[in-house]
Amino acid sequence: MRITFLGGAGCVTGSCHLLEAAGKRIMLDCGLSQGRREESERLNRTFPVEPGSVDAVILSHAHIDHSGKLPGLVGAGFKGPVYSTAATRDLCSIMLPDSAHIQKADAEYVSRKRKAGGLPPVTPLYGLDQVTATLGLFVTVPYGMPVTLFPGVSMRLLEAGHILGSAQVELTVSENGVGRTVLYSGDIGYPNRPILRDPDLSARPDVLIMESTYGGRTHEPAEESVSRLRDVVAETVAAGGKVVIPAFSVGRTQEVLYYLRLLDSRGELPDIKVYVDSPLSFDATGVYRLHPECYDRETMELLQAGGSPFSFEKLRFIQGVEESKALNSMRESMVIISASGMCENGRIRHHLKNTVENPGNTVLAVGFMAVNTLGRRIVERRETVNIFGEPYRLRARVEEITGMSTHADSDQLMKFRRVVGEKAGRVVLVHGERDQAEALAGRIRGESPVPVLIPGAGDILEL
């Protein structure tokens, strides 16, 4: 058995790992990379292995940095199957077409700019034909059900508590009379968060491959995050400005809405409108409502009482492009939640273009911003930021709330390692920038003799 780390190694985007065992090649996630434009373009348009040689793909969850390269893989020759939970498949059925649409729209916008400068146009990574073909390859699997993928290879998907449908992938491989279990954590949430169930801690693998996004950081308590959200909104409204929140359409948007609804129910939200400017967020919130099997007890009780974790009177969902543009001409205070979460594509860039130069406005970051993304440059409070290739002065207030992250922090990752990895002979840290992975590795080594590996892209682990 061997594992090749193709993406999401030493970074937090482009997750993709290839397990070769029992004569089969199984890809764990197939995500798009974000960051420096030229490097991301190269990574997203090429494949380090022959797509037609891959026997199956298993998705941990639907976020684009874990699923978004799948249509390209299919277009290049992959024939399937793609295994996931039912909720992940349903989310991919809206997220992958949206990804194709955003790529097309962004390519057209950038191409117009390039044409004015005498430069050639750019093309999308893939289109709706590849997306449609990809969705036809999905095979859904319930949480906890053992499934034989191939002779000598079986799988279970376990709750990860990150977003709707997110799963840890447990693979048991039998070769030459020897059985070994590998667990790929995907992205891990943490206990006592709203909406979703806690991560399943029942697996006991021989090899643990786990995320390290916040390997060296701890989150502020949830109630403190809610209080800070209240204060940021109130202070921005008092200044006559707008609060712009970059948020992934799936997971982060729903959690922010949950907390805004909570503040509204307490009478702590100003009399303003909250706009979710992302058609995908609207569709994703609908998908959330279709999967109560993923909810925790508190959310189920709210639903049974006739309430909704995502709806309140001040909330408006924006659909059309003209409605979206109209928000930028409105002078009244408001909250705008828009994708993408790292500000690399989608409508959020248009809103930032129209708000970052006004000191009365606030850009509120509620999740991790990868290195070399527009979101990271904003939270680093650069003097100027480039949006659509043009420089803008960053004069708006910039705030961060870490307690709304859907990733486990360092303490929770350590708990996961202690419980789930108690019998593991090796721990591999992926999906983390180098400093965060090193910080987590240091903590693990400080309390356990288990070998800890931090692979780079292209590294191979022989087992």
pLDDT tens digit string along 189-211? Answer: 988 887 889 999 999 999 999 99
| 182-194 average pLDDT score | 90
What pLDDT is stored for residue 123 in this prediction? 87
Over the stretch 281-291, which tens digit does the pLDDT of each residue have?
778 878 877 88
CA within 13 Å, CB half, 226: 18
The answer, yes or no, to whether residue 279 has pLDDT greater than 90, is: no
Kindly indicate whether the domain formed by 222-404 is annotated with CATH number 3.40.50.10890: yes
Q: What is the pLDDT of residue 306?
A: 66
The strands making up 16-21's β-sheet, listed across from edge to edge, are 138-140, 82-84, 56-58, 24-28, 16-21, 2-7, 460-462
Question: 173 by DSSP, 3-state: which?
Answer: strand
Cβ atoms of 98 and 282 closer than 8 Å: no
State how far Cα 333 lies from the chain centre: 29
Confidence band of 458 (pLDDT split at 50, 70, 90)? very high
Query: How high is the mean pLDDT of the chain?
Result: 91
Where do the structural domains in the chain lie, given as residue ranges? 2-217+406-462, 222-404
Closest CA to 363 of 371, 270, 405, 377: 377
pLDDT tens by residue, 218-233 = 988 888 889 999 999 9
Q: Which residues pair with 209 in a beta bridge?
A: 184, 428
SS3 per-residue string spanning 405-416: CCCCCHHHHHHH
Backbone angles phi, psi at 114, to 5 degrees: -65, -35
Residue 442: pLDDT band by 50, 70, 90 thresholds? very high
Predicted local confidence at residue 289, as pLDDT = 79
Average pLDDT over residues 249-266: 85
Residue-level pLDDT at 177: 82
Mean pLDDT, to the nearest integer, of 14-41? 91
Phi, psi of 57 (to 5 degrees): -120, 140
Residue 149 token pair:
């993928």
Q: Tell me the whole-structure pTM to 2 decimals.
A: 0.85
Task: Using pLDDT thresholds of 50, 70 and 90, give the confidence band for residue 52.
Answer: very high
Q: How far apart are CA 139 and CA 135, in angstroms?
A: 9
Convert the pLDDT of each residue in 95-143 to its tens digit. 999 889 878 887 887 788 888 888 898 888 999 999 999 999 999 999 9
pLDDT at 337 > cutoff 70: yes
pLDDT digits (tens, 9 = 90+) for 148-169: 999 999 999 999 999 899 999 9
Sheet of strand 426-430: strand arrangement: 147-150, 153-159, 167-175, 178-184, 207-211, 426-430, 452-453
pLDDT band per the 50, 70, 90 thresholds, residue 336 = very high
pLDDT of residue 339: 82
The correct CATH number of 2-217+406-462 out of 1.10.1130.10, 3.60.15.10, 3.90.1150.10, 3.40.50.2300 is 3.60.15.10
The neighbour count for residue 368, using CB atoms within 10 Å, is 24
Evaluate if residue 389 carries a pLDDT over 90: no
Inform me whether the pLDDT recorded for 35 exceeds 80.
no
- Residue range 53-98, pLDDT digits in tens: 999 999 999 999 999 999 999 999 999 899 999 999 999 999 999 8
